[in-house]
């Protein structure tokens, strides 16, 4: 039987190795690498059983000679075990040959598993076509399934036969062969399952099987290594041979699943103290347990076929990386849609109502506290860079040369060649932020932008803060912004058309996105910062001061007012309306406070005043947000900070509430602990003494001594004073 097992093991290993190399099928080669190391087990079993046979023949001959007469008996009495050569060789096999074979088995399994994991890591990192597998797979899936299932059935049947033979004490070493055969059956069955899933174009299962084979080899090698170590320290009974190290207990148990069930029944009966396994309830569970498992599996499979999409999402059916659907029905809106069970098909849901932000020219870490043209260096998010935009030169002062009237200046300028002057450009620092979302489905369930959004780019990040899709959107928007800003002059960007920049850029960027089928809906464009680059702000201001020397202070105040309001509100046309709305909100707040003081908080007058205050506050906030300036961002930051502060306060309250249990458990200990903490915080530099005596039983004497300065006539005197 050991020789037959050796032949079957070698046949399995060579068959899958030759098949894998011939057709280029990686799973077959991985399965063959599992089947080669157990050949050492069968070689060791053949050697052991052959030596057992020789030892038995030698013992039989010894018995025959010993029973032949007195002469023979006296010869064996003198010699003892010295002439039992076969028995001595058998002991040497158990002492050295089988442990060496076990060590070789562990080493071979570990080396092959390490090489397989290294190879899988290398091929898994390679670029593959979407929906394809990184494992080399052959086209003959049917032949491979037939080979795997046929050899798996043969190995399992043979392992069951060997496990039955190993019940006899003389053949107990066959359990190692049964474990090796059931290991073959498990590996081949797993490969067959993975290949069957390939019929449905699902390669993930076979890839998992490919990774599981070397991991399974590592686990088996670890168990054998543990057996070898335990055999060294395990006490031996005289006349019994030790169990070989390569005899796996786990695989032997898989070869006898019925014994496992019997052991569970015996354990249950032992725990309850009576034969519960014979009761009708236990038998009902055993009889219907399989159907319950099947029902659970069917329920799970059925649930995996249903996907619920809420009102903020849209869903897709994915099969091997390919979107399933046609005639404009690839995208599923809110509701329920059906798909094939996992892992044949999966579903992916995407938020289409969430507003996303994208900074085009650098984003600051925190909201800066500075004027629009401040000299402070911008603190951008690490990795972001702010590049200046090119604009036309400033026309400020062109009509005020030599303090001439504008009509005369125009007549003088007509005779001059301004071609060289018009070629001069200026640079400005400008931050542009986009707000967008994925374009959702319309009322008819079509014209959505999810597929275009997914096709426009990927979510891969290549050492940057933005994904490839966001980077593409950023480049498209930057090209539009650069072209438009280049047509404006420095005066237009900084003051004249500052409030119109957001709206103008919105009108130009939105068609560019639609033309490229980005699938996004541009909601708004905000420009929180526009200023001359770096230290050129002072030069720009000096030009205005030189032109308007007579009213420089007034001009500075007006410019500062425009700058602050422009930065705060964003749109200069909304400044007056925003200020009026804020004043109205403040007046409504005062009216509410007066009504509360005069009529009470729950009075009708206070309720009406509260509603009026809420409406006017909402109107003011709406106007501020409409401007898109610093105040709008400040409101957004304040809303966020309020939530953060609320969460912090809740955390602190929860921590204080949690200390209540400690106080109720030991009030005095809790009080003394906090007193010690107060001493530690407030009197850290003072020397402190802790005396465990009642105050009325304690008397403290403090001695204060003052010594005269050394080297004087009073150096020998000592003045002391004792106080109690």
Task: Give me the numbers of helices (H) and strands (E) for the chain, helices first please.
Answer: 24, 12
- Reply yes or no on whether the pLDDT at 131 is more than 60: no
Q: How confident is the model at residue 404 (pLDDT cuts 50, 70, 90)?
A: very low
The Cα 515–Cα 102 span in angstroms is: 70
Residues 341 and 386 in one domain: no
142, 219: one domain:
yes
Number of domains in the chain: 3
Q: Domain check: are 466 and 523 in the same one? A: yes
Asked if residue 555 belongs to a domain, the reply is no
In a domain, 274, yes or no: no
Q: What are phi and psi of 437, to 5 degrees?
A: -150, 165
Are 451 and 331 spatial neighbours (Cβ–Cβ below 8 Å)? Answer: yes
Instruction: Identify the pLDDT of residue 10.
Output: 93
- The answer to the question of residue 189 being in a domain is yes
* Tokens coding 652: 């602190």
Angle between the N-to-C axes of helices 174-198 and 39-66, in degrees from 0 to 180, rounded to the nearest 10: 160
Sign of CA dihedral 307, 313, 314, 315: negative
| Structure-block tokens of residue 633 | 């961002």
pLDDT digits over 200-229, tens only? Answer: 767 778 888 888 999 999 999 998 898 888
Is residue 16 a contact partner of residue 35, using CB atoms and an 8 Å limit?
A: yes
The end-to-end CA distance of the chain, in Å, is 103
d(CA 366, CA 284): 68
CA distance 541 to 341: 69
Give the number of other Cβ atoms within 10 Å of residue 247's Cβ. 27
Same domain, 185 and 84: yes
Confidence of residue 151 (pLDDT cuts 50, 70, 90): very high
Look at residues 426, 384, 391 and name the one whose alpha carbon lies nearest to residue 534: 426
- Do 27 and 176 fall into the same domain? yes
Mean per-residue pLDDT for 694-716? 63
| Eight-class DSSP state of 244 | P
Our measurement of the distance from residue 82's CA atom to the centroid of its chain's CA atoms, rounded to an integer in Å, reads: 69
Last residue of a domain, one of 323, 351, 379: 351
In sequence order, which ranges of 405-467 are alpha helices (DSSP H)? 406-414, 419-422, 450-456
pLDDT surpassing 50 at residue 721: no
For 12, 63, 486, the CA distances from 480, given in Å and listed in that order, are 66, 106, 10
Does the pLDDT value for residue 514 go beyond 90? no
DSSP-assigned letter for residue 493: I
What was the pLDDT predicted at 110?
A: 92
Which residues, in sequence order, are bridge partners of residue 722?
703
Do 307 and 232 sit in the same domain of this protein? no
292 lies in the same domain as 342: yes
Per-residue pLDDT tens for 343-401? 778 888 888 888 888 888 877 777 665 555 655 667 777 777 778 888 887 776 555 44
Q: How confident is the model at residue 107 (pLDDT cuts 50, 70, 90)?
A: very high
Predicted local distance difference test score (pLDDT) of residue 20: 86
Question: Number of C-alpha atoms within 13 angstroms, CB side, residue 3?
Answer: 2
Same domain (yes/no): 240, 375: no
Q: Residue 266 pLDDT > 70, yes or no?
A: no
What is the rounded distance in angstroms from the CA atom of residue 350 to the CA atom of residue 226?
50
Is 253 within a domain?
yes
Judge contact between 502 and 628, C-beta under 8 A: yes
The CA distances from residue 622 to 264, 322, 509, 560, 619, in Å, are: 71, 44, 24, 25, 5
The domain in which residue 106 lies consists of 2-262
Where a domain ends, among 519, 547, 575?
547
Q: What is the CATH number of the domain that holds 478?
A: 3.30.479.30
Tens digit of pLDDT for each residue in 415-432? 445 444 456 778 888 888
Whether 628 maps to a domain, the answer reads: no
Instruction: Determine the 3-state secondary structure of 295 from DSSP.
Output: helix
- The answer to whether the CB of 251 falls within 8 A of the CB of 220 is yes
Query: Is residue 479 one of the residues assigned to a domain?
Result: yes
The 10 Å Cβ neighbour count of residue 146 is 12
Residue 278 in any domain: the answer is no
In a shared domain, residues 22 and 132: yes
Report how far residue 677's alpha carbon sits from residue 454's, in angstroms, rounded to the nearest whole number. Answer: 58
> Is 524 among the domain residues?
yes
Q: Does residue 370 sit in the same domain as residue 345?
A: no
Tell whether 233 and 314 lie within a shared domain: no
Considering the domain architecture, whether residues 93 and 154 belong to the same structural domain is answered as yes
Domain termination residue (choose one: 518, 547, 576): 547
Q: Label residues 78-109 b or e (16+ Cβ within 10 Å = b).
A: eeeeeebebbeebeebbeebbbebbbebbebb
Across all residues in the chain, what is the average pLDDT?
Answer: 78
Q: Which two tokens stand for residue 204?
A: 């993930």
Distance, CA of 528 to CA of 471 (rounded, Å): 21
Helical segments of 67-200, H only? 70-79, 85-92, 98-124, 141-165, 174-198
């Amino acid at each position: 039987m050991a020789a037959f097992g050796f032949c079957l093991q070698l046949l399995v290993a060579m068959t899958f190795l030759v098949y894998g190399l011939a057709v280029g099928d990686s799973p077959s080669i991985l399965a063959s690498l599992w089947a080669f190391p157990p050949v050492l087990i069968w070689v060791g079993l053949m050697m052991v059983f052959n030596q057992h046979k020789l030892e038995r023949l030698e013992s039989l001959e010894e018995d025959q000679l010993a029973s032949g007469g007195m002469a023979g008996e006296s010869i064996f009495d003198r010699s003892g075990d010295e002439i039992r050569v076969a028995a001595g060789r058998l002991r040497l096999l158990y002492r050295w040959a089988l442990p060496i074979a076990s060590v070789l088995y562990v080493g071979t399994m570990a080396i092959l598993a390490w090489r397989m994991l290294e190879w899988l890591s290398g091929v898994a990192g390679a670029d593959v076509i979407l929906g394809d597998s990184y494992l080399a797979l052959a086209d003959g899936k049917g032949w491979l399934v037939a080979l795997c299932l046929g050899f798996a059935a043969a190995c399992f049947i043979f392992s069951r036969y060997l496990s039955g033979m190993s019940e006899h004490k003389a053949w107990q070493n066959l359990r190692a062969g049964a474990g090796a055969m059931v290991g073959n059956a498990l590996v081949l069955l797993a490969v067959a399952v993975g290949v069957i899933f390939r019929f449905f174009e699902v390669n993930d299962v076979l890839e998992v099987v490919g990774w599981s084979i070397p991991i399974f080899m590592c686990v088996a090698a670890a168990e054998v290594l543990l057996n070898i170590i335990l055999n060294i320290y395990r006490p031996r009974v005289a006349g019994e041979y030790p169990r070989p190290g390569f005899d796996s207990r786990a695989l032997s148990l898989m070869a006898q699943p019925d014994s496992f069930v019997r052991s569970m029944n015996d354990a249950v009966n032992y725990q309850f103290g009576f034969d519960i396994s014979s009761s009708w309830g236990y038998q009902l569970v055993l009889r219907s347990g399989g159907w319950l498992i099947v029902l659970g599996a069917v329920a799970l499979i059925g649930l995996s076929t249903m996907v619920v999409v809420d009102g903020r999402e849209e869903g897709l059916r994915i099969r091997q990386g390919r979107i399933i659907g046609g005639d404009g029905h690839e995208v599923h809106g809110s509701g329920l849609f059906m798909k094939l069970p996992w892992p044949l098909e999966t579903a992916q849901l995407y938020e289409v109502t969430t507003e996303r932000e994208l900074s085009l020219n650098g984003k600051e870490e925190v909201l800066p506290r500075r004027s629009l043209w401040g000299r402070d260096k911008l603190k951008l998010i690490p990795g972001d860079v702010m590049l200046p935009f090119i604009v036309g030169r400033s026309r400020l002062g062109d009509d005020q040369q030599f303090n001439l009237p504008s009509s005369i200046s125009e007549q003088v300028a007509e005779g001059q060649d301004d071609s060289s002057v018009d070629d001069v450009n200026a640079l400005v620092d400008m931050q542009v932020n986009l707000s967008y979302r994925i374009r959702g489905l319309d009322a008819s369930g079509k014209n959505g932008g999810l597929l275009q959004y997914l096709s426009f780019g990927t979510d891969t990040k290549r050492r940057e803060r933005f994904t490839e899709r966001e980077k593409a959107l950023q480049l498209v928007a930057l090209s539009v912004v650069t072209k438009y800003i280049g047509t404006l002059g420095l005066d237009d960007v900084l003051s004249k058309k500052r409030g119109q920049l957001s709206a103008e850029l919105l009108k130009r960027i939105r068609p560019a996105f639609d033309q490229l089928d980005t699938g996004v809906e541009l909601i708004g464009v905000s420009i929180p910062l526009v200023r001359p680059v770096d230290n050129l702000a002072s030069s720009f201001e000096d030009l205005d001061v030189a032109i308007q020397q007579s009213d420089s202070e007034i001009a500075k105040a007006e410019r500062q007012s425009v700058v602050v309001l422009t930065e705060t509100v964003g749109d200069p046309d909304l400044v007056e309306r925003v200020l009026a709305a804020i004043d109205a909100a403040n007046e409504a707040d005062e009216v509410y406070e007066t009504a509360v003081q005069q009529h009470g908080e729950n009075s009708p007058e206070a309720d009406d005043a509260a509603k009026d205050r809420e409406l006017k506050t909402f109107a003011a906030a709406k106007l501020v947000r409409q401007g898109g300036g610093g105040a709008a961002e400040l409101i957004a930051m304040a809303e966020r900070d309020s939530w953060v502060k609320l969460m912090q306060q809740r955390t602190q309250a929860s921590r204080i509430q949690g200390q209540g249990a400690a106080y109720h458990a030991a009030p005095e200990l809790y009080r003394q602990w906090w007193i010690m903490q107060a001493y530690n915080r407030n009197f850290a530099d003072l020397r402190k003494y802790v005396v465990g005596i009642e105050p009325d039983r304690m008397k403290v004497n403090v001695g204060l001594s003052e010594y005269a300065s050394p080297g004087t006539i009073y150096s020998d005197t000592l003045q002391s004073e004792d106080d109690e």
